[in-house]
Structures are given as C-alpha cells and as structure tokens.
Amino acid sequence: MTGTTPRPSERKLSEVARHLVIPKGIVTSQFPRVYKRLQDVGVSFDRWQQGFGQIALGCRESGKYAASIGGVVASIPRQVGKTYTVGNLIIGLCLEFPGLRVIWTSHHNRTTTNTFRSMQSMVRKKKVWPHVAAIRTANGEQEIVFENGSIIMFGAREQGFGRGMEAIDIEVFDEAQILGVKALEDMVPATNAAKHEHGGLVFFIGTPPRPTDDGESFTKKRKKALDGLTLHQVYVEISADPDTDPDDQSKFATFNPSYPHRTPLESMLRMRENIPDEDAWRREAMGIWPDDEDQGPPTWQLVAQDQWRGLVDYPQLLGTIGVGLARVGAHWVIAGAQRTVDDRIHVEVGYARMASNPEMVDLIGRVDEAMEPCAIATDSRSPAAVLEPLMKTAEIELIKSTTNQAALMAQGFVDDAEDGLICHADQPALRYAVEHATKRELPRKDWVVDANGDPGNAPLLAVVLARWALLTFESRVVGAAATPAFERTTTHTGGHADSFDAMTVAF
C-alpha cells in the first residue's frame, strides 16, 4: 500500500483531524477490550473512529483515564457520525463494565429525543438486544437499562436534567456549543463519586458555536487545548481549512471523513441545499470556528461600544411587560422590556432558537399567561407576523408596527441608549446583535434596524420591539400597573444573565 492513497475508511485520526491534542502519559487504553465487545455484537468503526476511542479511553500508569480531569472534547461537523461513534463507544463501555452509570444530555429536548431514538436503534440490533433489560420512556424518563446493571439516562439541559445526580461514571454533553457555565456547575460534580474503576469521564461533543450560542465553555476548552495549556484533556477537531471553497466537492472528505463511503454525495448536497447560508454551512458542515476566519472589524453602527457597555445593570423591575417577537430565517427570538424603579427600561433576551409556528404560538401563550400584564409586538413586515392568525385563534393579541413606527422605534431605542435610559444584562447574544446589526435607509432619510440576514442579529430586533410594546401598552392604559408584576430574585455578582431565567418567570 506504500505510495497509494488510503481508502476513506482506513484514514487514521491524525489524518482526519485538523487539530489533535492528546494528553501525555498514556500507557494503555481500555478501547481494545471495549471494541472487541462491540465487534462481538456486530459493530465496526472506521480507522479514525478507532483512534478516537483509543485516546478517549487512554489510561495513565495509575489505571485512571488520562482525560478524567479535562474531558474528551470533540468539535465535529454535521453528518460525520458523532452519535454513531460516541453512542456505540458508550454502549460498548456499558457492556464491558457492569453497573456503569451514564447520562447523555443535549441542550434541546428535540435533540435529546432524536439521540435517544438513534441509541434505541443501536441497542435493538440482533446481537445487542439480548443484553438489554429495558428501554424506559414513561413519565418523562428516557433510559436504556442493560442486563448487567449498566444504564444510560437521557435528558435535556433546558429542562434541568442532571441536577442533583450522584455517582455518575460517564457524562456526555451533546450540543456542547450551547453549554453554559451553570450547567457545568450543576452536572459535572455528579462524576466526583464515580465508582468506575478507571475514574469518571466527561465527553463534550458539538459544532462551532453560533454567535447567539452560550459557547463560552466549549470555546475555552478549545483555546486551552490549542494553546498547549491542558495536561488532562483530549481535543479532536475535524474541520476544513478556512480558505476552502464551500462548494468544492473535491474537499468534502477533508471535513467529513465519512464521505463518501458512509455519507454519499447526495446526502452532502441535500445538507447544502438545506443550509444555504454560507456562514452556517462553514460552521456546521465544515466545522470552521469563527476565530479561524478574518472577521473584520466590529461595526457598532447603532450604539457605540463603550456606551453599550456602560448600560449594564441588574435593577429592580416593576410594572407592565413589553414582549418583542422577531424572526430571521428560521431563528426565533423573544425579548422582554420592563420599567425599572428609577424609570429606565430594562431589556433582555429570554428565548432564542429554531421552532415550528405551532410551537412558537404555544410558547407565546405561556409567556402571555405567566407575564401578565404584558403586550406582545412584532413588525408587520417581519416573518414573525405569520403567527398572527394562529395567535388570534389562541386569543392572543399581537401588536404590529407599521414602517413609520418601525423607524420611530429604532431611532427611539438608540436615543434612549445614548441618553442612558436603557439598561441590559450584558447577554452575549444581545451584545453580538448590537455590534453587528446595521441601519437600512428608508425614503425621507428614516432608517430601521437591518439584521442583514444574520440570525445572530435577531435579538436586537426583538428588544427594540419589546421596548415599543411596553411604550404602546403604557400609552393605551392610563395608570398602567405601578405595582410589581414580577421582580428579580437572582442576585448578580458579575457576569451576565443569559435569559429570563434571571427573573421569576421560567420558560
């Protein structure tokens, strides 16, 4: 084979990964025994996947996992086989080590459910199924229980899954690009009492974070690994060179080692068709991190950077709530605005994700009920206005701004920011939007906020609408509620609030 190009399935991990950081001191690995167990039940890996398992389960002379402290961190694009690789590795561990306790958590409930379904398919294979005692789905529990006492438990972080658990041997943080520090603080201690003979082990798997994601933890782990500052962490990144042409099919294998033998060309083209936005394609399909690209200077066209930073505050709130609803592409954002005791307007983003129209109406209905009295507004030209008929059926009023009102509320928001009459909680998603959104000129020299097609700018559209909803409601109702409708219960000691979770209202 010397001098020939290896077949895709025979490429080593070092040939597949653009960045590979392996802890020093690995003298053995539990992977060979785990992989033999997998092969016995009909599961096989490509060579790079075997390499991943070898270092993930690598042990030092003490017999403990080399990555037991820092974890196994993997930035892998879509359609490469993250769930297949890590999922089967976990199944193999459960088969080989009786009584192993595993939790698998994603940020979103939908992702968790999809992963649980995939894992059910894996364990229902003819040779694996005899080793499974039960699959539980009742009462909100999603578990795979093995005959030898091992168990894999699934749940969504957005629903509080994992808090308070103890004696967990392995944790898998799926969607690690949306992994806040609080979730880590809540869940990682669960492995402190791990009973597994080789120690506790934590996997972090995801794609490069979007500007709106709370990707601080994942980003820090990547930076620490690439800077050579970690001694106890595995880091694997499969990604394209930043200069790669997104549509050059000859380069697909450089960022997807499962192409073309497991992921055929039509699957790649279908994914490309459904991710037309080039930034999203480079991030999610090619695995390119933002700091690997020339991002150019920040814009800060609407509010000066120093001015925006000076508006950070966590004041006592009272009275009516203004709710803004915005949508860019398939990305929805809900934001809130409320009076402070000193008569400023505090704005925060409370919800940002992709969802179907019925899901959004259901959520808005819960917001409307929980945050009463409130007013909900959107722009009549916004894709979010499509919800009006559904909201009318649900007896939820939606206030829509005209073009003239959109210009007035945009200018009013900027004026209030410059005059110190706006305050905010320094949320990264909102900060990004204020930094990158621009002005779109209208006739007669008016202007509106322009998201430039970037979902990351939707939070600014939403808070501008929330402020306008609040003012509109106050103008309609003489003597609008002066008593607190809800007040903050979280004491801030620095940092930022990352959603309405900082208030008593929880989505």
Q: What is the pLDDT of residues 334-365, one digit of tens each?
A: 999 999 999 999 999 988 777 788 888 888 88
How many CB atoms neighbour CB 354 within 10 A? 13
Cis? peptide before 373, omega within 30° of 0: yes
Q: Report the interhelical angle of 458-476 vs 428-436 (nearest 10°).
A: 100
How many CB atoms neighbour CB 159 within 10 A? 13
DSSP-derived secondary structure letter, 284: I
pLDDT digits (tens, 9 = 90+) for 148-157: 999 999 998 8
Task: Specify whether the backbone of 420 is left (phi greater than 0), alpha (psi in -120 to 50) or beta.
Answer: left
pLDDT digits (tens, 9 = 90+) for 66-75: 999 889 999 9
Is the model's pLDDT at 298 over the cut of 70?
Answer: no
pLDDT of residue 5: 54
Are 466 and 323 spatial neighbours (Cβ–Cβ below 8 Å)? yes
Residue 103, beta-bridge partner list = 153, 171
Average pLDDT across the chain, whole number = 86
How many CB atoms neighbour CB 30 within 10 A? 23
Q: Is 322 exposed, middle or buried (0-12, 13-18, 19+ CB in 10 A)?
A: buried
**Which residues, at least 6 apart from 360, have a Cβ–Cβ distance to it below 8 Å?**
332, 387
- Least confident interval from 96-105, 148-157, 481-490: 481-490
Tokens, residue 259: 């192409």
**Spatial distance between the Cα atoms of 348 and 244, rounded to a whole number of angstroms:** 37
Average pLDDT over residues 33-37: 97
DSSP-derived secondary structure letter, 109: H
Are 360 and 462 spatial neighbours (Cβ–Cβ below 8 Å)? no
Are 51 and 213 spatial neighbours (Cβ–Cβ below 8 Å)? no
**Which residues, at least 6 apart from 136, have a Cβ–Cβ distance to it below 8 Å?**
142, 143, 144, 145
HEC sequence for 216-232: HHHHHHHHHHHCCCCCC
Are 496 and 490 spatial neighbours (Cβ–Cβ below 8 Å)? no
Residue 440, beta-bridge partner list = 448
389: helix, strand or coil: helix
Backbone φ and ψ of 469, nearest 5°: -60, -40
Are 447 and 441 spatial neighbours (Cβ–Cβ below 8 Å)? yes
60: helix, strand or coil: coil
Is the model's pLDDT at 87 over the cut of 50?
Answer: yes
DSSP E strand boundaries for 190-259: 201-206, 233-237
Looking at residue 186, its amino acid is D
Tokens, residue 3: 């001098």
pLDDT digits (tens, 9 = 90+) for 103-150: 999 988 888 999 999 999 999 999 999 999 999 987 667 999 999 999
- Least confident interval from 202-216, 293-307, 365-379, 450-464: 293-307
Confidence of residue 483 (pLDDT cuts 50, 70, 90): very low
Alpha helices by DSSP H, 13-81:
13-16, 31-40, 47-56
8: helix, strand or coil: helix
Are 95 and 41 spatial neighbours (Cβ–Cβ below 8 Å)? yes
How many CB atoms neighbour CB 299 within 10 A? 13
pLDDT of residue 487: 32
Residue 106, beta-bridge partner list = 156
Task: Specify whether the backbone of 79 is left (phi greater than 0), alpha (psi in -120 to 50) or beta.
Answer: left
**Spatial distance between the Cα atoms of 419 and 491, rounded to a whole number of angstroms:** 26
Average pLDDT over residues 394-399: 89
pTM reported for the whole predicted model? 0.61
**Spatial distance between the Cα atoms of 273 and 237, rounded to a whole number of angstroms:** 24
Are 79 and 271 spatial neighbours (Cβ–Cβ below 8 Å)? yes
Is the model's pLDDT at 207 over the cut of 60?
Answer: yes
Are 236 and 20 spatial neighbours (Cβ–Cβ below 8 Å)? yes
Confidence of residue 161 (pLDDT cuts 50, 70, 90): confident
**Spatial distance between the Cα atoms of 184 and 208, rounded to a whole number of angstroms:** 18
**Spatial distance between the Cα atoms of 74 and 440, rounded to a whole number of angstroms:** 40
- The proportion of the chain whose per-residue pLDDT surpasses 90, expressed as a percent, equals 55
Confidence of residue 485 (pLDDT cuts 50, 70, 90): very low
Q: Report the interhelical angle of 82-96 vs 31-40 (nearest 10°).
A: 100
Domains of the chain, earliest start first: 8-288 (3.40.50.300), 305-502 (3.30.420.240)
Residue 145, beta-bridge partner list = 134, 151
Cis? peptide before 260, omega within 30° of 0: yes
pLDDT of residue 403: 85
Confidence of residue 264 (pLDDT cuts 50, 70, 90): very high
pLDDT of residue 495: 31
The vertex-289 CA angle with 286 and 12, nearest 5°, equals 55
Q: Is 421 exposed, middle or buried (0-12, 13-18, 19+ CB in 10 A)?
A: middle
DSSP readout, 161-186?
Answer: TTTT--S-SEEEESSGGG--HHHHHH
Side-chain half-sphere CA neighbours of 114 within 13 A: 11
**Spatial distance between the Cα atoms of 225 and 191, rounded to a whole number of angstroms:** 22
384: helix, strand or coil: helix
